[in-house]
Amino acid sequence: MRCLVTGGAGFIGSHLVERLLRDGHDVVVVDDLSTGRLENLASVRGDPRVTFVRASVADLDAIRPAFEGVERVFHLAALADIVPSIQRPLDYHRANVDGTAAVLEASRAAGVKRLVYAASSSCYGLPDVFPTPESAPARPQYPYALTKWVGEQYALHWGQVYGLEVVSTRFFNVYGPRSRTSGAYGAVFGVFLRQKLAGQPFTVVGDGTQTRDFTFVTDVADAVATAGEGAPPQTVLNVGSGGTYAVNRLVALLGGDVVHIPKRPGEPDCTLADVTRIRTVLGWEAKVSFEEGVAVMLRNIEAWRDAPLWTPDSIATATREWFACLGGAGGAA
């Protein structure tokens, strides 16, 4: 069938495009290339089943024609990162909320049958329960988390009012090839691999005992594609590995020296998805182990050679910026 992927030139989106093509679908990619890169789609260049439309999802008139004849929409386009969202909240609202509303309206007008929304586990903030289920209260701690959660509510509401089949997938700590190589706040793999290439020590926040539900990108693409096939409408699903791994374990697997920087206020000590629902509803579970995933990243380390180098000094500066944005307390997860 004909599928449309917003943000399809991005990190996760490009892997999803590859997966949908393997499944035999035609794919329309809508991306304004503000954060995505055409290089991420190099493996599908020249494939006659792929159509690329350069446009912002917030521009309804620009994107509307791309939805003609589309049966499934996978909405991944968004602005990410914590500190920039605190500094530029209206930009994030336009991209993540207005953009989602425009995608929903374009889908409704075109008679799209199903929409899968890429939500964020950051909506849980600092959860009380681990593993964290979908029923945990939303406690967004900063504009990025808020706008992604509001976008999810828009999508579910459009489904309720207009009959669009909506499935929301909440991602936990996605990593893998093509992940971002710049930014000091979230892309820990990119930061660490660039530091390893340069012979710099790894900049570990706090004592490194904090744990994350690192989930490999091909597993996430598989979950999203599977949600497009069979999840019941109006369902919210955690997408995580179901495991949690210490930053110190990551450093040990990568191999190298370490310097420690102050722990950032509001960051959780743990993220861990309760994946019971997605396992029950879709029969899905992550296949790539943490050790296997890190090995893949190391085999692809050359992709980080020309990326901006985050030194201990530059990350310390970024950390001070974090504290300044949050007023020294509360705020980021």
Asked if the domains at 2-173+217-239 and 175-213+241-267+287-324 fall in one CATH topology, the answer is no
Least confident of 112-121, 150-159, 195-204, 276-285: 195-204
Under 8 Å between Cβ of 51 and 94 = no
Told to judge if 124 belongs to the known catalytic residues of this protein, a careful annotator would answer no
Instruction: Give the strand pairing for 245-246 and 211-212.
Output: antiparallel
What CATH code is assigned to 2-173+217-239? 3.40.50.720
Residue extents of the structural domains in the chain: 2-173+217-239, 175-213+241-267+287-324
Under 8 Å between Cβ of 8 and 29 = yes
- In angstroms, rounded to a whole number, what is the distance separating the alpha carbons of residues 278 and 238? 7
Q: What is the overall mean pLDDT for the chain?
A: 91
pLDDT digits (tens, 9 = 90+) for 119-176: 999 999 999 999 999 999 999 999 999 999 999 999 999 999 999 999 999 999 999 9
170 has which bridge partners? 119, 238
Work out the pLDDT band at 328, boundaries 50, 70, 90: very low
**Catalytic one among 124, 142, 144, 245?**
144
pLDDT at position 322 is: 56
Q: What is the pTM of this model?
A: 0.92
- In angstroms, rounded to a whole number, what is the distance separating the alpha carbons of residues 282 and 131? 19
Q: Tell me what percent of the residues of the chain surpass a pLDDT of 70.
A: 89
Tokens representing 54 are 């350069």
Which residue type sits at 119?
A
What CATH code is assigned to 175-213+241-267+287-324? 3.90.25.10
pLDDT digits (tens, 9 = 90+) for 243-254: 999 999 999 999
Work out the pLDDT band at 241, boundaries 50, 70, 90: very high
